Chain A
Amino acid sequence: MYKKRFDNRKFDESRPIEATISVVENATGSAHFSLGNTKVIAAIEGPKTLHPRRIQDPERGLVRCTYDMMSFSVDDRKRPGPSRREIEIGLVMKNALQPFVLIKEFPKTVVDVYTEVYQADAGTRCASICAASLALADAGVPMRDLVASVSVGKVGDKIVLDLTKKEEDYEEGATDIPISMSGRTKEISHLQLDGCITLDEFKKALDVGEKGCQEIYELQKKVLKEKYGGV
């Protein structure tokens, strides 16, 4: 029985969220995003000409995502360089973001999204997607909507929002469901499930996830508006 969360949060409460934009001067757009102890920097390059030319699409542009965890981001040293997991998360991020980026306006080009996780405590792919969405907006890449992402799950017998690493490793079993959702239209562009869950519990988890995503979306809007003088 999981009666009380390890960090005394409510079951449907996320960790403290912080976001800043324009943190990397040399990038077209960038953002820093933290979900509790999970901290990510995202930077955008482009739209720029895509090379090699044979992979250019004359009708639309391309979104390319790179996800990287730094060696010191986890307890045991992570071997540097892209692993199978990181390449996969890059693809997951691309699929989560691409439906909302209006890439048709930039044929033959690529928008490169780089994310660096420098401190990890579960939910790194969600934090990366949130940061990337903010950075894309900061870079002036046209988007249909902002994307917010959060993980929900079942720890023991409770549906919880925004799992920490300790909760993911809970001895009685934990299920982790990262969800990415657009802020205004509430379209789900990414959903993964690792573990076991019943249909009813899953529906409940989706509701909790939606609430979490909306909370992040409100913060994203606030951060983007505040940057340009309006409070």
Chain B
Amino acid sequence: MSDTKDIVVPGEVIGKGIDIIPGSGVIREGEELISTLVGLKNVSGRALRVIPFGGVYIPREGDTIIGEIEDVSFSSWHVNIGGPYSATITVSEAVGEYIDLQKTDISKYYKIGDKVIAKIKDISTSKSILLTMRGPGLRKLEEGYITSISPSKVPRLIGKNGSMITSIKEATNTTITVGQNGLVWIRGKEREDEIKAAEAVAMVNKDSHTHGLTEKINEMLGDKNVQKKI
């Protein structure tokens, strides 16, 4: 994965032919396909895309994210989801019960500074983002520890079919939720477990583009387990 030929820079011609479909990070100029980002070239079938090494979070519909309540208004909350755009969540999408808005101060449900797991329901053309908390696992986060990684490295942290995140969870005995916006919520019985998991997450963030990352992580977690037993 770390071969130079796989690493592309903006403006580099990375493919040719009209039958190739440009994905994210790729544009077409005539027959040539041009990378627009610094990242790894990725071919799957006819689609060609570039997986970026960095950058801000670009929201997509259906993403599960971790956000922070920024402001409370009459019938909705404003949520900071990282990246250039902030999001809104309405009372009906956030609270299961009936609320008489005239009589209730909705900050009793979520107040400024609260962290929530939510799903992006809709993105309008003018980039106003609507969130929903109706769905399994979508809730307010209590306790635990939040750390952040680059949003482009989220797929690497999760791994194939969740292999990477599962191995971190199992080795550290923690519950971890990864938001597509790069925020990671870690909850363990012991504080040390949480710290250890956070260290592993930070390592994925740092070395995400290198060979043998899974082994490195396993080694790191394995070593610490041995130390604990002694």
Chain A positions near chain B (C-beta within 8 angstroms):
28-29, 46-49, 58, 100, 102, 105-109, 137-146, 182-185, 220-221, 224-225, 228-231
Contact = CB atoms under 8 A, between A and B. Distances in A.
A48 B78 CA distance: 16
B9 A224 contact: yes
B86 to A, nearest CB: 7
Nearest to A29: B54
A142 B10 contact: yes
B54 A225 contact: no
Contacts of A221: 9, 12
Given A142-B25, A145-B10, A106 B84 contact: yes
B56 interface: yes
Interface stretch (B30-38, B104-112, B130-138): B30-38
Given A46-B84, A108-B126, A229-B2, A140 B12 contact: no
Contacts of A229: 2, 7, 209-210
15 contacts: A28-B54, A28-B55, A49-B86, A107-B127, A140-B56, A143-B11, A143-B37, A144-B36, A182-B11, A184-B11, A220-B9, A225-B4, A228-B2, A228-B7, A230-B2
B108 to A, nearest CB: 28
Interface of B: 2-7, 9-13, 25, 27, 34, 36-38, 52-56, 58, 83-86, 126-127, 152, 209-210
A102 B84 contact: no
- Name which of B4, B9, B34 has the most chain A CB atoms within 10 A of its CB: B9
A9 B200 CA distance: 51
B55 A58 contact: no
Given A143-B11, A145-B11, A228 B53 contact: yes
A142 B24 CA distance: 10
Contacts of B34: 144-145, 184
Contacts of A105: 58
Contact of A140 (B13, B55, B126): B55
A142 B36 contact: yes
Contact of A109 (B10, B11, B84, B209): B84
Nearest to B126: A58
A22 B182 CA distance: 19
A46 B56 contact: yes
Nearest to A223: B9
B49 to A, nearest CB: 12
B4 A142 contact: no
Nearest to B11: A145
A67 B209 CA distance: 33
Contacts of B126: 58, 107-108
A215 to B, nearest CB: 16
Contacts of A58: 126
The 7 closest A-B pairs by CB, nearest first: A140-B55, A230-B4, A145-B11, A142-B36, A143-B10, A109-B84, A229-B2
Contacts of B36: 102, 142-144
A140 B9 contact: no
A155 to B, nearest CB: 32
Given A228-B7, A230-B7, A137 B84 contact: no
B127 A140 contact: no
Given A46-B84, A107-B126, A228 B209 contact: yes
A137 B209 CA distance: 17
A137 B38 contact: yes
Given A58-B126, A228-B53, A228-B209, A49 B7 contact: no
A46 B6 CA distance: 26
A44 to B, nearest CB: 10
Contacts of B2: 228-230
A139 B54 contact: yes
A140 B53 contact: yes
